[in-house]
């Protein structure tokens, strides 16, 4: 099941590990992505910490920690091929995986219908 943040990130939970990326909507709004900087594996993050940067031909955007936890893996593919974010935002172009401090907090994020309502406004 996918959940979403108001900052246009998607999360997919597997046990207590969440895979995190940006939504197709965000990738479309940004235009062609030319640079991605990801957090370090092992970094402990708090919800809403700025932990990554995505730069496009239009602007640079911070990526915020969607929940409290620890970064356990990053996707080197998006670092070496940032254009992947524009093409495969909701799949292969995930940014990082994090072990959630409180997996139950995942349930409080937006479901797909709530996210669609948010971006339609």
Residue 1's pLDDT is what?
85
List, for residues 66-97, the tens digit of each pLDDT value: 999 999 999 999 999 999 999 999 999 999 99
Q: How far apart are CA 108 and CA 4, in angstroms?
A: 10
pTM of the model: 0.95
Domain ranges of the chain: 2-101
Work out whether strand 9-14 and strand 17-22 pair parallel, antiparallel, or are unpaired. Answer: antiparallel
Instruction: Assign 21 a pLDDT band (cuts: 50, 70, 90).
Output: very high
Q: Is the pLDDT of residue 116 over 90?
A: yes
Distance (Å, rounded) from C-alpha 82 to C-alpha 86? 8
pLDDT value at residue 26: 94
**End-to-end Cα distance, the chain:** 24
Tens digits of per-residue pLDDT, 47-69?
Answer: 999 999 999 998 899 999 999 99
User: Which CATH architecture does the domain made up of 2-101 adopt?
Assistant: Beta Barrel (2.40)
């Amino acid at each position: 099941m996918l959940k979403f943040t108001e900052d246009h990130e998607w999360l997919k939970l597997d046990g207590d590990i969440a895979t995190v990326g940006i939504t197709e909507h965000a990738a479309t709004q940004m235009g062609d992505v030319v640079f991605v900087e990801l957090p370090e594996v092992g970094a402990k993050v708090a919800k809403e910490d700025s932990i990554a940067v995505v730069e496009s031909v239009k602007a640079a955007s911070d990526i915020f920690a969607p929940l409290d936890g620890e970064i356990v893996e990053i996707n080197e593919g998006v670092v070496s091929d940032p254009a992947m974010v524009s093409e495969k935002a909701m799949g292969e172009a995930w940014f990082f995986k994090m072990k959630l401090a409180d997996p139950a907090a995942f349930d409080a994020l937006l479901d797909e219908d709530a996210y669609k309502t948010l971006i339609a406004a």
